[in-house]
Amino acid sequence: SGKNNGFEFENTFEIFKNFKLMTGFGYLNTYIDRFNYQISVGDSKAMGGGRSAAMSPNTASIGFEYKMKNDTFLNLRTNFKGKYYFSDSHNEKSDEYSISNFSIGKKIRNFRLTFWGNNILDKRYATRGFYFGLIPPDYPNQLFKSYGEPRQIGIKMDYSIK
């Protein structure tokens, strides 16, 4: 058992008719009660909990959108994540990180052509962490990380029937 509470806030400020500033942040306060779990058959039980819940980071974002008179647009946004526990069964944590994404495009009649990039700085960041023994001969516990997506770029074309 445990408790979760927090809040999330997002806002868009129209600075000028063609320029918007977008901000957001989320605060999450969690607590998981202490609990026992069995590691493997015949092993004694391990203890978990007594701290913040896993996968519950605080977040923030900031970005802008600029629309030009010729139906061209530019969007840039950076998302931040604070440190968080990877699992309720161990005390290993992620590092805090930020990811920046952009898009630039143009609307031509019923078409909208967009060139986009996610994780444009090609940041390597851990999204999950698993802590267990795998390497012989002693099988000491160690952290194995799963990483987020590397830089991605693409082109998108939308068509509207209006």
- The residue written with tokens 């998981």 in the block is 32
Beta bridge partners of 21: 13, 64
**Could you write out the three-class secondary structure of 100-129?**
EEEEEEEEECCEEEEEEEECCCCCCCEEEE
Band (pLDDT 50/70/90 cuts) for residue 58 is very high
The string of pLDDT tens digits covering residues 22-35 is 999 999 999 999 98
Lowest mean pLDDT among 34-38, 100-104, 122-126, 142-146: 34-38
Beta bridge partners of 47: 36
pTM flag (> 0.75): yes
Give the pLDDT score at 46: 78
